[in-house]
Amino acid sequence: MKPSKKVANFGVPWEAAYGYCQAVQVKDVVYVSGQLSHDSNGDLVAPAELDASGRPVNFLNMEPQMRQTYLNAAVLLAKFGATFDDVVEETLYVLDVDAAFTVAGKVRKEIYRAELPQCASNLIGISRLAFPEQLIEITFRAVLASG
């Protein structure tokens, strides 16, 4: 017998275009797909300025993009009755590791409300994300309290 799944979406265009759910709960675990810095209309918050070849000119918008990405994840977690207190692992995919590392401590401590957030964290540099103006994408795994 397959475990039942509960899913959540934002209703942004790329969910249907790509064909996926933003988050899935199976038993007491919530898996949150890669989140980015979009607003409620699906428009990117603090998009990176691009050069003629479509690459970011700089990474100055890493902090506002990171903060909005965490805020979007908070909305999804809440749909399952979860908060960042329930997050056990996160993976940050970034175009520039140095730019992300510079702001990650500040943003993560703010979001998790702790000097030492109680979750495993991975920071991985990559060459491209879904949208050219995007500098960061974050996935999450949360475990809900039993009963």
Tell me which architecture the domain covering 5-143 has in CATH: 2-Layer Sandwich (3.30)
Parallel, antiparallel or unpaired: strands 87-94 and 120-125: parallel
- Could you give the count of Cα atoms lying within 13 Å of 7 in the half-sphere of its Cβ? 11
Strand partners, 8: 23
Q: What percentage of residues in the chain have a pLDDT greater than 90?
A: 90
d(CA 16, CA 9): 10
> What pLDDT is stored for residue 38 in this prediction?
95
Say what the pLDDT of residue 1 is. 75
> Exposed/middle/buried for 46, CB within 10 Å: 0-12, 13-18, 19+?
middle
Q: Which amino acid is at 78?
A: A
Q: Could you report the per-residue pLDDT of 23-61, keeping only the tens digit for each?
A: 999 999 999 999 999 998 999 999 999 999 999 999 999
According to the model, what pLDDT value does residue 99 have? 97
The predicted-structure confidence for 106-117, as pLDDT tens digits, reads as follows 999 999 999 999
Neighbours of 32 (CB within 10 A): 24
61-90 as b/e: b if 16+ CB within 10 A: bbbbbbbbbbebbbebbebbebebebbeeb
In the predicted model, what is the mean pLDDT of residues 59-64?
98
Are 60 and 113 contacting, i.e. CB atoms less than 8 angstroms apart?
Answer: no
